[in-house]
Amino acid sequence: NTLSGSYADLTTAFTANSNGSISGLGNEAVSITEVVTTSQANTLAAATAGVVTATLSDGDLATLAALTETGNAYSITISDASVAVTALNTLDGKTTVAINASNITTLTGAAADLNTAYTSSGISNLGNEAVTLSDTTLAASVLNALDGRTSGSINANSINTLSGTAA
């Protein structure tokens, strides 16, 4: 079963359920018919064991990091231009809908984490951003795989040791 409506109507229904004037709520899917904040999504997700479907108004990773549950169907568009890939991968684990990453112009982090983001079906519109690596040691094959996933430049200044076999 799915309960759908505005944030205000859904909150009113769940409050009435808590107060005893409505009974039987707490395990249904919820579909929010308007754009909501991260905080509002958390409030409704806490009220049901079912999947919450919503479009979030927040696009900055600092705010989105506050999402408290996983397995919900949140439509999210990242608004940050520069993103730490670990934060993006963590957010990917909190929604079943592909995250729109089209506004990202720079990704930073370890090559393994970057490759995870690029190969995730949960993150869309990556492939043309600049990359800044944090690795100090890296296999050439990992760097080559990363290079094949973005048309942007890769800043590998942090690498002190690059290993691999000669061609």
The pLDDT tens digits for 57-69 are: 999 999 999 999 9
Crossing angle for the helix pair 85-92 and 111-119, nearest 10 degrees?
A: 40
Look up tokens 């904040």; give the residue: 37
Q: What is the pLDDT of residue 166?
A: 76
Per-residue pLDDT tens, the chain, 167 aa: give them: 999 999 999 999 999 999 999 999 999 999 999 999 999 999 999 999 999 999 999 999 999 999 999 999 999 999 999 999 999 999 999 999 999 999 999 999 999 999 999 999 999 999 999 999 999 999 999 999 999 999 999 999 999 999 998 76
Mean pLDDT across the chain, nearest whole number?
Answer: 96
Q: What is the pLDDT of residue 157?
A: 96
Q: Where are the alpha helices (DSSP H) in 53-121?
A: 61-64, 85-92, 111-119
Q: What is the pLDDT of residue 165?
A: 86
Q: What is the pLDDT of residue 16?
A: 96
pTM of this structure:
0.94
Look up tokens 């909501």; give the residue: 36
Give the torsion sign (CA, 65, 71, 74, 76): positive
Instruction: Quote the radius of gyration of the chain (alpha carbons, Å).
Output: 20
Beta bridge partners of 32: 5
Give the torsion sign (CA, 21, 27, 29, 30): positive
